[in-house]
Structure 1
Amino acid sequence: MSGLHNLGNFLVSGNSFFGSFPTSVFTISSLQWVDLGENQFKGHIEFGNTTLSPRLIGMYLGNNKFDGSIPESISKFSKLKMFSLTNNNFIGTIPKSISQLHNLYILDLSYNKMEGTVPGCLSRLTWLSLSHNSFSSIGKSLEVLDRAPMRVLSLESNSFQGPFPHWICKLRSLELLDMSNNSFSGSIPSCLRKSTKNLERLILHNNNFSGILPDMFVSGTRLKTLDVRRNHLQGKLPKSLINCKVMKLLNVESNNFKDKFPSWLGSVSSLNVIILRSNQFYGSLYHRHVAIGFRNLKVIDVSHNDFSGTFPSFFFSNWRDMATANAQDAQVDDMYMEDYINHMGDLQDSMEMVHKGVETEFEGVRKDFIAIDFSENKFNGQIPESIGYLKELRLLNLSGNAFTGNIPQSLANLTNLEALDLSRNLLFGHIPQDLGILSFLSVINFSHNNLEGPIPRGTQFQRQNCSSFMDNPKLSNLEDICGKPHLPNLTPQETEEILEPKEQVVNWIAAAIAYGPGVFCGLVIGHIFVSHKHDWFS
């Protein structure tokens, strides 16, 4: 490397280089950028005691197998602006000398094994990603100015605990705040409203936050994602969310919210995903004098709440994005609903749903994943015929309610359907035979209803488990699914009639068994009595 006096950029990412850290590269005085990413380098990083590159402004060592701790000598690169060690095996704490890098504005230490306290001086950065480590606390921050430049703060998946750091409220330029998968507790401070003007993503899921979700979104006109699932939040959804006109995902799953369905969000035309699962929401989803809205919904999950009421036959008629495929959504390079494009790559929204009977976490919400989950509520009446308009639907779960009437024939229009669960309702009548043509349908559950007649002959139906149809006394031709010999589901009275003759036979056998020895014993005793009566009475 000694002859490369004029080399400005050393960019070798995405190859198969291996071996130890190439210390000699950093002795080139003209060097400005080093990119060793996505190779097989391993071992400690050492800069030695040689004169280091005084002009270096960018260092990317991500996606290798480096280990050990970050050397204190990193401070010698005084002009360093971007430093990334993402996805390696670094351990230990962040070196104190990093505070001397006054020009640093991007630091990415994500996906390592680092621990300890995060220096408070890092609050002055523009970009800070510490996700997927074992950091436990944040040191006392220097005085954060109201115009602090930080745009991205990712603390996801660490061991942080304690209250919400109030200095975050002063980060007026914040675009992404991710504190998910930690043990933060206490309330979400209302002062966070000061940071919502530029905020695009607020991700706080899987913590121990409690209290209400503050009404802090009056200025949240750029907010696209609000994810506070799996906390202990309560009360009502803040009405200021109506100002979030570009919001795409709202996820409050697994909290203690107690509120009516937020039909007022139907006017937020950008909303693609709304997940209210496992709370205490109540009341009806439909109100006669309120527009249904939600034209661009792709995923709605309101399962495990206390919703009730009926649906008009046209309820799903205006859910446009579930009815027709969007040509833009079909682009291969744009398959996910929303990516946050940034200096270091892209960050995708995530969510959890019961998919094909299995609790599934989606890392990235695909644009072609269209789902409705109304299960485990108290809905009643007939399933709206307009469900058949939603031709892009992949998942439909209406189980655990009190729906009555026939299964809509229009379900046969859902040619992309992969999972259908109508179990544990009060449905009656025949299963529409045309459902047998749904070739993508892999998971079906019609159990615990009052259905009757033949099961569709389609291949997808014949591959189901017998349990998918159990407790429907009048269903027929189950032999191909449940095997032979097959006893039909019987009512208690029919069961009693079949068993009664057997019980009578058993009773006569028992009587005969008891009668035979009784007669024999009687004869023996009689003989003894006659033979010895003279002796006894003499």
Structure 2
Amino acid sequence: MLIPIQSYFILFLSLIFNTLASPRLEMNALLEFKNEFPLSAPDPHASFAFSFSSWNTSSDHCSWKGVTCNANSGEVISLFLQFIFLNGSLKANSSLLKLQHLDSLTLSHCNLIGKIPSSLGNLSHLIDLDLYGNNLVGEIPYSLGNLSRLTNLLLAENHLRGEVPPTIGNLNQLTFMVLASNNLSGNIPSSFSSFSKLSYLDLSKNQFTGGDLPSILSNLTSLSELDISYNHFKSKLPSNMSGLHNLEVFDAKENSFVGNVPISLFTIPSLKEVFLSGNQFEGPLEFGNTSSSSKLEWLNLASNNFNGPIPESISGFLKLGVLDLSNNSFLGPIPGSMSQLVSLRVLDLSYNKLEGQVPSFLWRLPKLTLSHNSFSSLEEVVVNGSSSDLSSNSHVDLGSNSLRGSFPRWICRSTTLDFLDLSNNHFSGSIPSCLMNSTVFLGDIILRNNNLSGFLPEIFTNATKLRSLDVSRNQLSGKLPKSLINCKSMEYLNLKGNKFKDTFPSWLGSLVSLRVLFLGSNAFYGPLISSHFGFPSLRVIDISHNSFNGTLPHDYFVNWHEMSSVWVDETKWPLPEDPIYQGSPFTMGGENIFDDSMDMMYKGVDTKFPRIFRAFKAIDFSGNKFTGQIPKSIGLLKELILVNFSRNAFTGSIPSSLANITHLEALDLSHNKLSGNIPRDLAKLSFISYLDFSHNLLQGPVPRSTQFQRQHCSSFEDNPGLYGLEEICGPVHVPEPTSGDSQQSKELSTEESVEVLSWIAAAIAFGPGVFCGLVIGQIFFTSHKHIWLVEKFSRN
């Protein structure tokens, strides 16, 4: 009996020793884990030191930040570290493995690198594993399939690659799995069908190509949200999806799914949101026998190949708030049954083949986009002496249709309208003065390319929110309304291609937010008078093809600060906060793009820019009657991309200060009376791709540089005194250089250098901001290439 008693005693002491030693071992394991990473972070704003400041032996490790212990046993059960710059890799023998009772491990946004160690599969108690938002690489280890208790697995926003191991299907307790935003590829493993408890699955933004979706999805009966968007699936959707009776959100946008959308999808009673845009679905759209009890709130089927009419049965989705069927081939009229969609807030039917009359029940919608169809008329219903309800309408886009008749006066009764686009239609007659009632709220008015005539009325007295006004390509005449001076938020003003007859509106220089101004192809006349304000925010100006005359004032460009500075304050250009704007035609197109179009003469071609990069800065004074010298102060505008002074009567020499515009891509000085030499320093303009000096009185050598040698011979024609054109124009007869020419060239260069310095001094006198802009611009662009070309997307 002695031996058993001793054995029990030894066992008892061992248990006591282990109980006392375990906390010390776990404390040491945590400290060792901290020491596996550098103690300083590359980001000065990182919270590394703060997060680990409590991790020391002077305190109980269960009180350390991010550490949770079992209240009874004192064992570490949770480690929660977020937004800490660990800046290292998880080792295969990491001290974390000593925390055998760990049931929750969160290391998200910790700048972890390297591979996920397979040894993590030994933490058999894990319920939650979160490695979200790191820089992990390699494949998902097979061993994670050993974590049989795991309910939450988050590996999103890393750089993981390869196929998902089939062993992940062993995790039959999973309720939440996010593998989004990696480079995972191949098929979805068939073992996923074992996830009977899974309620949330996000595989978006990977490279998945397929898998047995019908059999997999049929077993995921607990699934409430499924996101497989932004992959490369090419199959059809399962014909029977009704088994997913708990599904609320289904997102499969931006894949290559084909065939029809199964009717069974719309019979799921819990379904609230469906996103299938950017696929290759085709055929007529069918919803089946929709039920008034349907919970569907958001339906996006944009950018597919649907055809035929919009089904009348859509009226069954009484809770539908957002409907996007844009960029398909739907035919016929808008079904009258849509009037029953009383919850609808946003409707986008743009880029289809719809026709007929736009029904009046749509005017109550907060956001309505019907552009790029073939609608011919607008219905206006008068009830009890007033038009249909416009109290909630804020966005109306009817651009690019075949609408005719006079300007729709019912718009004047809208008190909430923020955006109005009637462009590219056949509206005629005058713009009604009653529009003044709506301009109090309007931010954008786009009426370009119609047949509107008469004066532009004085409707802008209270238009303090107006951001853009585009009435280009109409038949408007008379003088500009002086009430435009009240548009303190104006950033884009396009009056091009009308019959306005007025002097230059220098008073617009008081609009300190004005960034784009188009007055081209009108009947403006007279000299340009310097504005006291100098258009400080202007980035693009086009006054071409008018009758402006006289000399340009010597200080004309001195206060144009925005064109001389590279520093862009994009905080003034936020995207709308409402999520219904995101990824739709309602967006402004990103932080660096105006959602406004323009057409300008660029590189000798009349070019349409559907959207404008905000870094694009241009001056077009061509086709007028300016005389005298081109001001040397043009060289202060160092960020210009395009300069066009062609088809005027400028005299004197080409200002060498143009060489200061280091990112210039197009320069057109043709059809003037310029004389002297082409400045040698222009050869240093490394971004220049279009030059035109033709039809002047220039003489002397053509600068030798790759940029000049690439120009067409016509860029120098009708300048009898030019020579050095053999490499451009071939063996033609040209005058020989003389010593006088060489000396004259040096004198002109020296003289203009002095003039440039004097103009910079003048600029400093006019405002220190210009000088700061020049210095910052020079530093910034020595290490950054300029990107200016526009993205091909517009309403036109």
The TM-score normalised by the length of structure 2 is 0.59
Q: Which moved more, 1:99-108 or 1:215-224?
A: 99-108
**1:124 CA drift (Å):** 1.1
1:316 pairs, out of 554, 557, 561, with 557
CA distance in 2 between counterparts of 1:16 and 1:402 reads 58
Question: Structure 1 stretches of 5 or more lacking a match?
Answer: 490-538
Give 2:692's aligned residue.
445
- Give the corresponding residue for 1:400: 647
Unaligned runs of 5+ in 2: 1-240, 589-594, 737-796
Aligned equivalent of 1:299, options 529, 536, 540: 540
Pick closer, same or farther for the CA change 1:362–1:337 going to 2, 3 Å. Answer: farther
Q: Aligned to 1:405, what secondary structure does the other structure show?
A: coil
Equivalence for 2:430: 187
Helix, strand or coil at the partner of 2:453 = strand
Aligned to 1:153, what secondary structure does the other structure show? strand
Is the aligned partner of 1:135 residue 2:378?
no
- Residue 262 of structure 1 aligns with an amino acid whose one-letter code is P
> How far apart are residue 52 of structure 1 and its match?
6.5
The letter of the residue matching 1:478 is L
- Provide the aligned length of Structure 1 versus Structure 2: 482
Show CA shifts across 1:56-113 (max 9, x none).
2221111111111011111111222221101111111100111122222211100111
**SS of equivalent residue, structure 1 residue 102:** coil
Tell me what 1:386 maps to.
633
Residue pair 1:337, 1:365 contacting (<8 A) in 2 also: no
- Whether 1:213 and 2:456 are equivalent positions in the alignment is yes
| Separation of aligned partners in 2, 1:404 and 1:35 | 62
Task: Kindly state the Cα deviation for residue 488 of structure 1 after the two structures are TM-superposed.
Answer: 5.0
In structure 2, distance between residues paired with 1:155 and 1:33: 26
- For the 8 Å contact 1:339–1:349, the answer to whether it is kept is no
Query: Structure 2: how far apart are the matches of 1:177 and 1:3?
Result: 44
Q: Separation in 1 of the partners of 2:628 and 2:663?
A: 26
C-alpha displacement of 1:147: 5.9
Q: CA deviation at 1:166?
A: 0.8
1:27–1:52 CA contact under 8 A, matched in 2: no
Give the counterpart letter for 1:254 in structure 2: G
In structure 1, what is the equivalent of residue 100 of structure 2?
A: none
Aligned to 2:411, the other structure's residue is in SS state helix
Residue 340 of structure 1 and its aligned partner are, at CA, apart by: 6.6
Looking at structure 2, the residues matched to 275 and 321 of structure 1 have their Cα atoms a distance apart, in angstroms, of 17
Matched, 1:279 2:522: yes
The alpha-carbon deviation at position 182 of structure 1 amounts to: 0.5
> Contact 2:361–2:388 (CA<8 Å) still a contact in 1?
no
- Classify the secondary structure of the residue corresponding to 2:613: coil
Question: Which segment drifts farther, 17-26 or 135-144?
Answer: 135-144
Q: 1:525 corresponds to which residue?
A: none
* 3-state SS of 1:426 partner: coil
Q: Contact conserved, 2:295 with 2:319, CA < 8 A, in 1?
A: yes
Tell me if the contact between 1:205 and 1:231 (Cα under 8 Å) persists in the aligned partners.
yes
Match of 1:66 among 287, 306, 313: 306
Between stretches 341-350 and 160-169, larger displacement belongs to: 341-350
CA–CA distance in 1 between the matches of 2:420 and 2:402? 17
Q: Which residue of 2 aligns with 1:227?
A: 470
Give the letter aligned to residue 276 of structure 1. Answer: L
User: Identical aligned pairs, as a percentage?
Assistant: 56
1:159 alignment counterpart: 402
* Cα deviation code 1:464-511 (max 9, x no counterpart): 11211111121122222211143559xxxxxxxxxxxxxxxxxxxxxx
Q: 1:45 aligns to what?
A: 285
1: CA distance, partners of 2:621 / 2:574 = 24
1:203 to 430, 446, 457: 446
Q: Deviations over 1:405-436 (max 9, x none)?
A: 11111111111111111111111111111111
Quickly say closer, same or farther: Cα 1:105–1:327, change in 2 above 3 A. Answer: closer
- Would the aligned equivalents of 1:141 and 1:167 in 2 still touch at CA under 8 Å? no
Residue equivalent to 1:457:
704
Q: Quick one: distance in 2 between partners of 1:194 and 1:244?
A: 15
Letter in structure 2 aligned against 1:294:
F
1:374 aligns with 621
CA offset at residue 261 of structure 1? 0.7
Aligned counterpart in structure 1 of residue 262 of structure 2, from 22, 34, 37: 22
Instruction: Kindly indicate whether the alpha-carbon contact (under 8 Å) linking 2:355 and 2:375 is maintained by their aligned counterparts in 1.
Output: yes
User: Which amino acid letter does the alignment assign opposite residue 265 of structure 1?
Assistant: L
1:141 CA drift (Å)? 2.8
* Matched position secondary structure for 1:241: helix
Matches within 5 A, 1:306-385: 306-328=547-569, 343-344=580-581, 345=584, 346-347=587-588, 348-385=595-632
Question: Do the aligned residues in 2 keep the contact of 1:251 with 1:276 (CA within 8 Å)?
Answer: yes
Correspondence 1:5-20 to 2 at 5 A: 5-20=245-260
Q: Cα–Cα, structure 1 residues 50 and 255, in superposed 2: closer, same or farther, change >3 Å?
A: closer
Deviation at 1:315, TM superposition (A): 1.5
Q: Secondary structure at the match of 1:387?
A: helix
Output the CA distance in 2 between the equivalents of 1:349 and 1:149. 25
Alpha-carbon contact 2:333-2:354 (below 8 Å) kept: yes
CA contact (8 A) 2:291 2:316 kept: no
Q: Structure 1 pair 53/21, CA: closer, same or farther in 2 (3 Å)?
A: farther
What is the match of residue 266 of structure 1?
Answer: 509
Residue type at the aligned position of 2:374: S
**Is the contact made by 2:528 and 2:553 (CA closer than 8 Å) also made in structure 1?**
no
* Structure 2 CA distance for aligned equivalents of residues 302 and 123 of structure 1: 37
- Supply the distance in 2 between the matched residues of 1:46 and 1:22 (Cα, whole angstroms): 8
Q: Which amino acid aligns with 1:307?
A: F
- Corresponding residue for 2:779? none
Closer, same or farther: CA 338–51 of 1 in aligned 2, 3 Å: closer
Q: Does the Cα contact within 8 Å between 1:338 and 1:349 map onto a contact in 2?
A: no
Shift of residue 3 of structure 1? Answer: 2.7
Distance 2:621 2:532 in 1: 19
Partners of 2:293 and 2:260 lie apart in 1 by 19
For 1:399-418, list aligned pairs within 5 A.
399-418=646-665
Residues 434 and 50 of structure 1: is their aligned pair in 2 closer, same or farther, counting only changes over 3 Å? Answer: closer
Deviates more, 1:46-55 or 1:232-241: 46-55
Residue 486 (structure 2) pairs with residue 243 (structure 1): yes
How far 1:265 sits from its partner (Å)? 0.7
Q: Does residue 117 in structure 1 map to residue 357 in structure 2?
A: yes
Matched, 1:144 2:144: no
Amino acid at match of 1:396: V
1:126 aligns with 2:366: yes
Q: Match of 1:99? A: 339
Give distance in 1, aligned partners of 2:691 and 2:255.
Answer: 46
- The CA distance in 2 between the partners of 1:216 and 1:292, in whole Å, is 24
Contact 1:323-1:389 at 8 Å conserved across structures: yes
1:431 to 665, 678, 681: 678
Distance 1:226 1:276 in 2: 12
Q: Distance in 1 between matches of 2:413 and 2:421?
A: 16
2-structure distance, mates of 1:145, 1:45: 30
Q: Alignment partner of 1:322: what SS?
A: helix
Using the TM superposition, give the Cα deviation of residue 365 of structure 1 relative to its aligned residue in structure 2, in angstroms. 1.1
Q: State the 1:354 CA deviation.
A: 0.7
Please identify, of 478-487 and 460-469, the stretch whose mean Cα deviation from structure 2 is larger.
Answer: 478-487
CA contact (8 A) 2:557 2:637 kept: yes
What amino acid sits opposite 1:3 in the alignment?
Answer: G
Whether the 8 Å CA contact 2:302–2:328 is kept in 1: the answer is yes
Q: Would you say the 8 A contact 1:266–1:293 is kept in 2?
A: yes
d(CA) in 2 for partners of 1:325 and 1:462? Answer: 29
Q: Deviations over 1:352-402 (max 9, x none)?
A: 101111111111111111100000101111111101111111111101111
Bigger Cα displacement from structure 2, 141-150 vs 345-354: 141-150
Offset at 1:144? 3.2
How far does residue 328 in structure 1 lie from its aligned partner after superposition?
A: 4.2
